[in-house]
């Protein structure tokens, strides 16, 4: 057991999976010699060489398309998209090809690949280095979507995603990459996809979050505790398939729910979560289901603290929901 940040934990998961399974390869822009823009793949090229840690040209559709071909015919590629904001040139490959491989071949072929990509704000990256596009992929049937909030989960979930037989979008909160350190086992382990985790038990309000915003939710929960409001914070970990059961269990206890996400509000994943919970737990509600999210605008350059649903914006919503 050693203290690791998320970059180190993901790096270790990749290395262990590559050692375990010769079908696993890593490909993407600058992932080889340079070790990736965030250094997540550092050292892999030295250990596994050009054949398995592949520097690609700058062409996202090519990277993802090639990975799909590899995956369909027996390999386990783990392509990296440098920033989630650059995934759109490959959107067609993901939505039209990867997501529908199993379905349109009647189960003959699958597409076991993991697209790793850093997402979210917090580095003043402006419009193209900050977005949170998870909802677009959740909306696309045939994909799994994972978003860890800490190093331990990241390592176990990535290993599970690589071993999974379906295409997985693996969103890494770049704001958390080096900001959080914790004990992470050195050996290989997996954590099951599709299981949320209650990271702070409470009685009055259920708060659902994932990735970087989990920390804002926790900090807001801490703040309102002093005012006698007890929040139960649920870290989704896997966004799709959604662990609705865990959310419902919590909401039927608290009677109140607030979802927090960085992505814009309109058609954000929060809308889907709240509707699914409403369908099951309507009669338990003691307050209207609520969201604290990014604004329905492009991601701004200098105004990111105004844009992000940081704790100071979550707190008033928790109070309003608790006192409804």
Partner 1 sequence: MGSLETTASAQVPGEQLERMYRSMLQIRRLEEEAARAYVQGKIGGFLHLYIGQEAIAVGTEAALRKTDWVITTYRDHGFALTRGTSSRAVMAELFGKDAGCSRGLGGSMHMFDAENRFLGGHGIVGGHCALGSGVAFRSKYLKTDEVTVCFFGDGATNIGGFHEGLSLAGLWKLPIVFVCENNLYSMGTPLDRTLPARDLTDKAPGYSMARDRFDGHDAVVVQAHMSEAIERARRGEGPTLIEILTYRFRGHSMSDPGKYRTSEEVEERKAKNDPVRVGRERLSNAGFSEAAIAAIDAQVEEEVQDALKFADEAAPALESSMREFVLAGGEL
Ligand X SMILES: Cc1ncc(C[n+]2csc(CCOP(=O)(O)OP(=O)(O)O)c2C)c(N)n1
Residues that bind ligand X (CB under 6 A): 29, 58, 60, 82, 86, 89
Q: DSSP code of 91?
A: H
Of partner 1, ligand X, none, which one does residue 300 interact with (CB within 5 to 8 Å by kind)? Answer: partner 1
Active site includes 284? no
- Provide the strand spans (E) within 140-252: 144-146, 168-173, 181-184, 197-200, 205-209, 231-235, 238-240
Sole binder of partner 1 in the list 301, 320, 323, 324 (CB under 8 A): 301
Of ligand X, partner 1, none, which one does residue 56 interact with (CB within 5 to 8 Å by kind)? Answer: partner 1
Q: Confirm or reject binding of residue 179 to partner 1 (CB under 8 A).
A: no
Quote the least distance from Cβ 82 to partner 1, whole Å.
8
Nearer to ligand X, 89 or 194 (CB): 89
Cα 291 to Cα 114, 244, 271, 286, 308: the distances in Å are 29, 17, 8, 15, 13
Cα 277 to Cα 33, 106, 111: the distances in Å are 47, 32, 31
> Phi first, then psi: what are they for 29, rounded to 5°?
-75, 125
Q: If you search the block for the tokens 């793949």, which residue do you land on?
A: 41
Q: Is the peptide bond before 241 cis (omega within 30 degrees of 0)?
A: yes
Quote the least distance from Cβ 302 to partner 1, whole Å.
3
User: Which residues within the stretch 17-76 sit at the binding site for partner 1 (CB under 8 A)?
Assistant: 29-30, 32-34, 37, 55-62
Exactly one of 129, 139, 284, 312 is catalytic; which is it?
129
3-class secondary-structure state, position 26: strand
Active site residues: 129
Q: Residues interacting with partner 1, by CB under 8 A?
A: 29-30, 32-34, 37, 55-62, 85-86, 88-89, 123-129, 295-298, 300-303, 306-307
């Amino acid at each position: 057991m050693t203290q690791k940040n998320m970059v180190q934990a993901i790096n270790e998961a990749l290395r262990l999976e590559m050692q375990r399974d010769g079908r696993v390869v890593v490909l993407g822009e600058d992932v080889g010699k340079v070790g990736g823009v965030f250094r997540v793949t550092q050292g892999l090229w030295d250990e596994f060489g050009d054949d398995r840690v592949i520097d690609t040209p700058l062409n996202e559709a090519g990277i993802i398309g090639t990975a799909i071909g590899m995956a369909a015919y027996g390999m386990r590629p783990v392509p990296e998209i440098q920033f989630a904001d650059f995934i759109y040139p490959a959107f067609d490959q993901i939505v039209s090809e990867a997501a529908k491989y199993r379905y349109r071949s009647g189960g003959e072929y699958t597409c076991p690949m993991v697209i790793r990509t850093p997402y979210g704000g917090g580095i003043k990256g402006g419009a193209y280095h900050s977005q949170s596009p998870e909802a677009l992929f959740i909306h696309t049937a045939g994909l799994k979507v994972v978003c860890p909030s800490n190093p331990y989960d990241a390592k176990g979930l990535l290993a599970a995603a690589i071993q999974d037989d379906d295409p997985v979008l693996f969103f890494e909160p770049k704001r958390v990459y080096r900001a959080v350190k914790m004990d992470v086992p050195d050996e290989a382990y997996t954590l099951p996809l599709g299981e949320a985790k209650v990271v702070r038990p409470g009685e009055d309000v259920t708060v659902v979050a994932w990735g970087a915003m989990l920390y804002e939710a926790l900090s807001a929960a801490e703040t309102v505790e002093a005012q006698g409001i007890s929040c139960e914070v649920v870290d989704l970990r896997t966004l799709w398939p959604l662990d609705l059961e865990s959310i419902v269990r919590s909401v039927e206890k608290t009677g109140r729910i607030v979802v927090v996400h960085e992505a814009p509000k309109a058609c954000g994943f929060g809308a889907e979560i709240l509707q699914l919970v409403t369908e099951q737990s309507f009669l338990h509600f003691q307050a209207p289901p609520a969201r604290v999210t990014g604004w329905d605008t492009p991601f701004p350059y200098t105004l990111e603290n105004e844009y992000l649903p940081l704790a100071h914006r979550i707190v008033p919503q928790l109070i309003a929901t608790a006192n409804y």
